[in-house]
Amino acid sequence: MRLTYLFDPLCGWCYGAGPAIEKLAAVDDIALELLPTGLFAGRGAGRMDAQFAEYAWSNDQRIAKLTGQRFSDDYRKRILGAGGAFDSTAASLGLTAVHITDPGREITALKELQLARYVQGQDIVSIAGVGEILLSLGLAAAAERMLKRDHSLVETHGRRIQTAQSLMRRHGLSGVPSLLAGDDADQRSLPGSVLYEPIDGLLAQLRAG
């Protein structure tokens, strides 16, 4: 069974869906593809001003209550409270570098980037910040390619974003996380809410479909 996971590394709800994505990836008969959508990059990027920080923290508390995922005081102080950019370009580019150099660790890299932001309060919006985290995970080849931003990496990243956005348009999706099951004409979308439900129910739903 092929699943496609559409996400943005700065999406709190995608962080909330992390445990379900890890469990799906561990199922023997499931092939899971990650596709960053660029939702909070380019024209979707912004600044972390006080109003946005207040909104984000309120939303984060809803996610924590629903999923059990942790949003720390360090995150609130160092990320929400410090202002700065709200731009997922660097994190998505870093994940594409992992996808190229060590694809079996892309899900782990996504999880660790999310934990770095939401628990450790670390920077994942700059190339340097993401590169440091990848190095700490032993993903030196990915970090090197991202820091150099070589042509093939940028091209591959662009194709992944384009593919994700095309799939979102095709399925009438406006936000993330989103999960697609199947291939080509048989591909169908599932509501993002399934990623916050018990995994057995989700697997039964996928197999019934």
Domain boundaries, the chain: 2-208
Whether pTM exceeds 0.95: yes
Q: What is the pLDDT of residues 10-26, one digit of tens each?
A: 999 999 999 999 999 99
Q: Rounded to whole angstroms, what are the CA distances from 104 to 85, 99, 137, 156?
A: 30, 8, 13, 17
User: What homologous superfamily does CATH list for 2-208?
Assistant: Glutaredoxin (3.40.30.10)
Q: What is the pLDDT of residues 83-129, one digit of tens each?
A: 999 999 999 999 999 999 999 999 999 999 999 999 999 999 999 99
Q: What is the pLDDT of residues 166-207, one digit of tens each?
A: 999 999 999 999 999 999 889 999 988 999 999 998 998 888
Q: What are phi and psi of 28, to 5 degrees?
A: -60, -40
